[in-house]
Amino acid sequence: MLENGKISIRQFSILVILFTVGGSILIVPSGLASEAKQDGWIAGLLALGIGLLLIPFYYALGHRFQDKTISEYSEDLLGKWVGKLISLLFFTYFMINAGLTLRNIGDFMTTQFIPETPIEAIFIVFLAIVIIGTRNGIEPLSRSAEVLFPLVILLFIILSTSLIPEIKFENIQPVYEVGIKPIIRGAIPFIGSTFLELVVFLMIFPFANKTNQLRNSFLTGTLIGGIILIFISLLAILTMGSEVTARHLYPSYALARKINVADFLTRIEAILAGIWFVTIFIKLTVFFYASALSLAQTLKLKDYRFLTLPLGMILMVLALVLGPNIVAIEKFNKYILAPYSFTFGFVFPMLLLAISTFRMKGVKKNSSQ
């Protein structure tokens, strides 16, 4: 194996939580409110329910090949050339998602914090940290996530409690006014940009201890991460209203600016930024790690670490060419990412699971004869 590190069940669950929250904490409330209006939180619950249904499916595939990543057993199941093609497609999927994540970092920083700074400079700084994290391997990354996780939860609690005076329950009334179709339309991008992307953890399954407990760990991480996103979306609608939430590019960040506790505790949007920096670092590093490891395994290389620098350069270019501006990136996330993620997050894994099931039945039948 190209990776010798091992992570605990707890670390795996924390990685899933932070990955799920990722960059979604900034953009999900806007997408839910733009389609489902004040019922955006209902669309979020629908998306979370579907996301939780994906986890037993991923676990079934990963548990069947406990010592291999999805890039490795794709070749075992589909043959050398078709398997390599599927592995390379997964590598492309991981890289494109890493590029989108990096672009989200650059867009947020240049629009909210340092507008005069070239976006390329921001890419270089973040990529340097991500490359270091990737080269160290999955075990140090998981330990870092474990250390940072209590900070994320603490900041989330401070943010949530500080917004209590701003809540207006009339902003979510009447409930279920828009009907089921807008709720479904709101849930689809959420599923594509958050839960279908969890297929990347099939690259990490072999490095987790006690694989028989991974199913519950995976479900717990997805559930907690999804609840955090839905709760932030609900807070945004409750405090700002669905129309204002839908108009904001980063409604969660605008939400944090509304905090005012006794005219003393105000403008603490740095809290949300702190949550976002930690979670999006984990998400980008997991995608980049999966990209490097997948390509190394597909090409039968002895190590993946020497790939990190050239892949980092490619990732920087990719982040620049994926869209000419924020509007193009938003349209990509809304209309293209969901079917694209559905292909790699459901269709291909389902194909692999079906083939492995038929092969196991064939082996049992032959052995019984």
Bigger pLDDT: 369 or 153?
Answer: 153
Question: ω into residue 174 within 30 of 0, thus cis?
Answer: yes
**Do the Cβ atoms of 245 and 29 come closer than 8 Å?**
yes
Residue type for 210, please?
Answer: K
Q: Provide the pLDDT confidence category of residue 228 given band limits of 50, 70 and 90.
A: very high
Domain residue ranges in the chain:
9-357
- Length in residues, the chain: 369
The string of DSSP letters for 228-291 reads HHHHHHHHHHHHH-HHHHHH-SSHHHHHHHT-EETTTEE--THHHHHHHHHHHHHHHHHHHHHH
Place of tokens 């650059």: 106
Mean pLDDT confidence for 267-292: 88
Give CA–CA dist 222/94, Å, rounded: 19
Least confident of 40-44, 280-284, 329-333: 329-333
Is residue 184 classed as helix, strand or coil in its secondary structure? helix
Mean pLDDT confidence for 59-86: 92
Reported as a single tens digit per residue, the pLDDT across 345-356 is 999 999 999 999
CATH class of 9-357: mainly alpha
Reported as a single tens digit per residue, the pLDDT across 295-312 is 999 999 999 999 999 999
Dihedral angle sign, alpha carbons of residues 228, 234, 238, 243: positive
CA distances from 89 to 57, 60, 70 (A): 20, 21, 11
Give CA–CA dist 357/82, Å, rounded: 18
Sequence-distant (≥ 6) Cβ neighbours of residue 222 within 8 angstroms: 16, 20, 48, 51, 52, 55, 195, 198
* pLDDT given at position 81: 92
CA distances from 294 to 1, 20, 74, 287 (A): 12, 21, 11, 10
Sequence-distant (≥ 6) Cβ neighbours of residue 54 within 8 angstroms: 195, 196, 198, 345, 346
Q: Provide the pLDDT confidence category of residue 23 given band limits of 50, 70 and 90.
A: confident
The torsion angles phi and psi of 215, rounded to 5 degrees, stand at -60, -50
Place of tokens 């760990």: 217
The string of DSSP letters for 20-78 reads HHTTHHHHHHHHHHHHHGGGHHHHHHHHHHHHHHHHHHHHHHHHHTTTS-HHHHHHHHH
pLDDT at 313 over 70: yes
* pLDDT given at position 1: 59
**Do the Cβ atoms of 126 and 105 come closer than 8 Å?**
yes
Sequence-distant (≥ 6) Cβ neighbours of residue 306 within 8 angstroms: none
Give CA–CA dist 53/193, Å, rounded: 16
**Do the Cβ atoms of 316 and 124 come closer than 8 Å?**
yes
pTM, two decimal places: 0.94
57, with CB counted inside 10 A (0-12, 13-18, 19+), is middle
Reported as a single tens digit per residue, the pLDDT across 153-205 is 988 888 888 888 888 999 998 888 888 999 999 999 899 989 999 999 999 99
* pLDDT given at position 322: 83
**Do the Cβ atoms of 97 and 197 come closer than 8 Å?**
yes
Q: How far is CA 262 from the centre of its chain?
A: 36
Cα of first residue to Cα of last residue in the chain, in angstroms, is 35
Mean pLDDT confidence for 269-284: 86
